[in-house]
Chains A and B, each alone.
Chain A
Amino acid sequence: MRIEKLVLRNYRQLRDVQLALDRQGPNDLHIVIGRNGTGKTNILNAINWCLYGDEPHLSKHSEQLPRLNLGCIEDAGHGGHDLQVAVEVWVKTEDGGTLIFERTETYRIGGDDKEPLRQDTHFEARVTDDKGNTKILVDDEASYCAERFVPQSIREFFFFDGERLDRYFKEATSQHIRHAVFELSQIHVLQSVEANLDTVLKDLRKDAGKANPAIEEVGDALEATEAKLAELDRQIEMCAQQKSLAEDKIAEYQEQLRGAPDAGALEEERRSLDTRNKEKRKRLEESVREKHELLFDHAIRIQVWDAIAESLSTIDEKRQKNEIPPTVDTALLEAVLQDGSCSVCGRALDESSVKHVGAVLDEIRLTSDIAKQLLNMENPLRRHAEKLGRFRGEMTKAAREIGDYEADLAAMERRKREIDAALDGYDVLRIAEWHKERSKFEETRDTNQKQLGALEARRQILTRELGELQNRLDEQLKKEAKVAELRAQISFCARALETIRGTKQAIMRDTREEIESETRRLFFALAWKSATFGDVRIDENFNISLIHSMGYECLGTASAAERELLALSFTLALHRVSGFDSPILIDTPVARVSDSHRVSFGQVLLQVSAEKQTVLLLTPAEHSDDLAQVVDARSSNRLALKLSADEREVRVEVL
């Protein structure tokens, strides 16, 4: 199916606009160029409004304005008139028929600056077969028809803002993919069956319980356990989601940090080196001071060593001659002189004897003083000698200590230079922030992992309890003859539920695998640097990985264009797998793509348009010369949206 025409009347700034999107040539590519404010995004909104009755891409500015075109309100003058907003989406079906969706909304113009009042809304689908017979479907039937064109639940994969392509694999990737697979698998049909069966099963058990209190008791316990299990499953899913989100973020940061130094750790190491450096330097200074003390101390001793040695030698000599300690008692001679008689024989001293004793005393006194001095000097001098003997050892020790500190300091300086070199050219703050963020998410992942473990263990216990309760219930039911029929119904319901749950899982798995395979195929068919990449994978947790040819995950470091290409491949894969071969309409598809990749991306879109109607809503900046060279000549239509001078109306020019 493809959109042939869009007709918009009084819809926002698009007062009377027709966009003819007929295919001309091999590429079903349609380019609509418009400056900001000319209503490109409102074309997207108009399609959504027509098909589903809402406007998911409305800007804040547009939200404050009525849907009805301002120009037509003004032209209506003083109220009383009814005006209509209408959007038609003309679709060509595969069998050659035409399908026209039309949504209209009537407003009563109040006048006197009053807001127009909405009167009614009408939605219809006019189906014209190849023979020209037209059938008009309204309301639910029309909605059903729109669902067959593009289901509302997956419309975001058909009509979307180009920025979404850039964002798609940046945040909550696994949730997005899980959601897409879920919607595409039409699991909700099975889910409602599951819910209904569950209700029926509970009712049947209640009925059986009325027949026998024992059955009721077990039934209640069973129900309570099932509720606990459901709550536990909800918690497990939440936990798994948190873990998956954290893993996405970890992978993202890991990609950003690939090859980059661990700036946080290096900065920390540098800080620690600085602290240790200060301490070491302080110790070095202390050691140098101690060495200077030693040097000072020993310098005195060494320089006067000759004098020390001489004195020690004299002392030794005098000791050998028994001159020290003094052998004559000067006090005895002094007493003799004072008494005037010999204290040994008692004889009185004559004049010559007094002279003689006085002379002896003078000589002895001097000798004795010298001996005393020498004795006083002896120990201190020997201490000096002893200390001097330690000179070399102490100096060597001090020098070694200083050498060690200096070597440590040099090693630290070397390491600091290495760190500086490693960090040179990197945005250290940002890298450190990335490391911090990654650690934060690693913590979240680990916490959730632990919690998951605990929850799973609890789940096992509850599942076992549930099984036991089911067996008990079965036994009770067997015992009670009155409920034989109910028992058969309960058993059937339980088995049906089990089958549905298993089927749900299988469908999800198969759909995921199919999308994975199709995304991979499309990505490599469209990629302009296919040799750079090795694989595209979607794991059982719905995480998508772009694997580099060297084997590592590289989605985080892929360029915006490459990331958008992957998102586009995924989107197209969803189209294929869903079976809805409807057009793709992208608003601002290359706004995030760098100039150098725009041409490549343009070629990709050209390729896509060979098989699928592709409508691109571009700003003039996006429609650069390079891109224009690639796409213009091969596009089926090139249309420009031009804003009127009063900025209330837009007209379409064919380029």
Chain B
Amino acid sequence: MTVAIDRLFVDENDRELYDRLETTDMFAGKTRKEQFLFSLAVGFSRGIKRPIQKREGFFLAKDMTLDDEALFSAVAASDADSVEVLPDRAKVFRIAEEYAHAGIRILVDEIDSTQYGTFEKNLEKQLHDMYDRIGVATKREQSGSTPN
């Protein structure tokens, strides 16, 4: 079976979850691509990915910017622990879809378990903590990886 790589897929059951995101201030007015990216990030940060059972097209690949594609690729390389995955666009997309599939459920659960308005606050705190952790790494990375 030829897998189309002109679009990104979600599990058909996830569509309703993505729709529910709309009710949260932070996600109001976000595009499908942006919702997908956020879910992918959540899934990746938790290290959880789930294979999609029933694929359903979610947004078109042409809508992705270079920055978005770079994130997809980075996630795929990290997931495969090899950059060899990079030329395989279908695989890169599949990895992204699986992280997003896991991420959207986590995200909706978190939103549902908090009071209105507190999700953003919790997220902010969480990000500051993560930033503190990665901030050192970032500096280290940057100081050690500055191109000559």
Contacts and interface: CB of A to CB of B under 8 A. Distances in A.
B134 A302 contact: yes
A307 B124 contact: no
Contact of A374 (B41, B65, B86): B86
A654 to B, nearest CB: 87
Contacts of A395: 124, 128
Interface string B102-124: 00000000000000000010011
A310 interface: yes
Interface stretch (B4-12, B53-61, B68-76): B68-76
B50 interface: no
A307 B78 contact: yes
A306 B66 CA distance: 19
A370 B74 contact: no
Contact of A392 (B41, B71, B131, B141): B131
B74 A313 contact: no
Contacts of A315: 145
B123 A373 contact: no
Contact of A311 (B37, B42, B74, B130): B74
B26 A366 contact: no
B141 A313 contact: yes
Contacts of A292: 25-26, 120
Given A307-B44, A316-B147, A302 B130 contact: yes
Contacts of A370: 83-84, 86-87
Contacts of B71: 300, 304, 307-308, 380-381, 384
B38 A369 contact: no
A381 B79 CA distance: 17
B120 A295 contact: yes
B19 interface: no
B15 interface: no
Interface string A563-578: 0000000000000000
Contact of B127 (A295, A308, A366): A295
A305 interface: yes
Interface centre among B44, B84, B87, B147 (most CB of A within 10 A): B87
A304 B67 contact: no
A298 B127 CA distance: 8
Contacts of B128: 392, 395
Contacts of A310: 74, 77-78
Given A292-B26, A313-B145, A314-B77, A303 B86 contact: no
A380 B138 contact: no
A363 to B, nearest CB: 12
B20 interface: no
Contacts of B75: 304, 307
A422 B43 CA distance: 57
A370 B26 CA distance: 36
A299 B123 CA distance: 8
B74 A391 contact: no
B22 interface: no
Interface string A364-391: 0010011001101101110111001101
Interface in A278-308: 288-289, 292, 295-296, 298-308
Interface in A142-161: none
B74 A377 contact: yes
Contacts of A313: 141, 145
Contact of A369 (B45, B67, B87, B123): B87
Nearest to B30: A296
A380 B65 CA distance: 9
A304 B131 contact: no
Interface residues of A, number: 43
Contacts of B52: none
Contacts of B38: 296, 299-300
A289 B30 CA distance: 12
A389 B138 CA distance: 8
B2 interface: no
B41 A304 contact: yes
A385 B143 CA distance: 13
A462 interface: no
Contacts of A381: 70-71, 74
A310 B120 CA distance: 28
B25 A373 contact: no
A392 B139 CA distance: 14
Contacts of A388: 131, 138
Given A302-B130, A307-B71, A314-B77, A373 B83 contact: yes
A200 B47 CA distance: 121
Given A303-B41, A395-B124, A385 B138 contact: yes
A652 interface: no
Interface string A493-524: 00000000000000000000000000000000
A242 B73 CA distance: 89
Nearest to A369: B87
A384 B83 CA distance: 19
Contacts of A303: 41-42, 44-45, 130
B67 A384 contact: yes
Interface centre among B27, B137, B147 (most CB of A within 10 A): B147
B124 A295 contact: yes
A311 B73 contact: yes
A309 B44 CA distance: 14
B85 to A, nearest CB: 9
A319 interface: yes
B26 A373 contact: no
Given A299-B123, A307-B71, A376 B84 contact: no
Contacts of A391: 127, 131
A295 B25 CA distance: 12
B70 A376 contact: yes
Contacts of B67: 380, 383-384
Contacts of B79: 307
Contacts of B123: 295, 299
Interface centre among B40, B70, B73, B134 (most CB of A within 10 A): B70
Interface centre among A299, A301, A395 (most CB of B within 10 A): A299
Given A370-B87, A373-B83, A299 B74 contact: no
Contacts of B41: 299-304
B29 to A, nearest CB: 9
A312 B40 CA distance: 19
Interface string B73-105: 111011100011011000000000000000000
B74 A308 contact: yes
Contacts of B131: 302, 388, 391-392
6 contacts: A300-B38, A302-B45, A307-B78, A366-B84, A376-B69, A377-B73
Enumerate the 4 nearest inter-chain pairs by beta-carbon distance, A residue then B residue, closest first: A380-B70, A303-B45, A303-B41, A307-B78
Given A314-B77, A373-B73, A374-B86, 16 more contacts: A299-B127, A302-B134, A304-B45, A304-B71, A304-B74, A304-B75, A307-B75, A307-B78, A309-B134, A310-B74, A310-B78, A315-B145, A366-B84, A373-B83, A373-B87, A391-B127
